[in-house]
Structure 1
Amino acid sequence: MWDRETAAAAADDWIGRYVRAWGTNDPDDIRSLFTPDAEYRDGPSTEPWIGHDAILAGWLGQKDDPGTWSFEHELTAVDGDIAIIRGRTSYPSSTTKSRQYDNLMVIELTDDGRARSFTDWFVVPDAGATEE
């Protein structure tokens, strides 16, 4: 079990590497984030992508091109090996409207800094509104 300071540092390191992998879409960057048998959920009720091959296929199957998004985040909580990160993803040049998502990422980390499980709870704020 980690103390709070160690857990927070591990979570900060992990999310930094996650954002880097999101920007590169490099399979090695993505793979390095997860244990070989990790579970990745791109929504709270979705079936998990289990293992490196499934995570890579899922990630690359819905990848974002570099430069088309921005992401701000803060570490909200850590408890042992569980980290919760609150984020906001913006796609400012998505067709004619910008899109934004509020994210709450729940990550179960291992001692070596990889994720054993990852779930992205996301919400489209004010989904009925349009932005020009």
Structure 2
Amino acid sequence: MIEPRPWIEGYVRAWNSNDPDDIAALFTESAVYYPEPFSRPWQGRDEIISQWLGRQDKPGEADFQWHPVCVTDDVSIIQGVTTYPDKTYSNLWVIRFGPDGRCREFTEWWMQHDLK
């Protein structure tokens, strides 16, 4: 079974660094990344890096807290909360791992909290 913690720590590191090498280390060459569950996926590591950098957050801008919902041999489902200075999101991530512990498919659900 692949423990998700090292991968998620790497994801948060890449999120804060926006370093292409940090991003690349997370994904297999042919990985697929769904930024929303029913959107066109980013296909392949190069497109993932390009799309990520095109939508990057400022380093240290967000805080991410998470816990596992389900962990199997090659899939982890993670529930998280992302807090920015002016908004908060609930997240659900489905991470499908390759045998080497890198992600081969990532799907993200996110919903902004209503602050009424």
Give me the whole-angstrom Cα distance separating, in 1, the residues matched to 2:27 and 2:108. 15
Q: Does 1:107 align with 2:100?
A: no
- Amino-acid identity (%): 45
Report deviation, 1:120.
0.7
Report deviation, 1:68.
1.3
| Counterpart code for 2:35 | D
Structure 1, unaligned runs of 5 or more: 93-97
The aligned runs of 1:36-115 (5 Å cut-off) are: 36-92=29-85, 98-115=86-103
| Counterpart code for 1:102 | S
Give me the whole-angstrom Cα distance separating, in 1, the residues matched to 2:38 and 2:89. 17
Give me the whole-angstrom Cα distance separating, in 2, the residues matched to 1:40 and 1:50. 7
Match of 1:124 in 2: 112
Question: TM-score when scaled to structure 1?
Answer: 0.84
Match of 1:34 in 2: 27
Q: Deviations over 1:14-44 (max 9, x none)?
A: 1111001101000000001000000011111
| Counterpart code for 1:18 | Y
Report deviation, 1:79.
2.0
Report deviation, 1:125.
2.2
Larger-Rg structure: 1
**RMSD between superposed Cα atoms in Å:** 1.0
| Counterpart code for 1:113 | G
Question: TM-score when scaled to structure 2?
Answer: 0.95
Structure 1 segments (4+ residues) deviating >4 Å:
none
Match of 1:95 in 2: none
Contact 1:12 1:75 in 2 (8 A): no
Aligned length in residues = 116
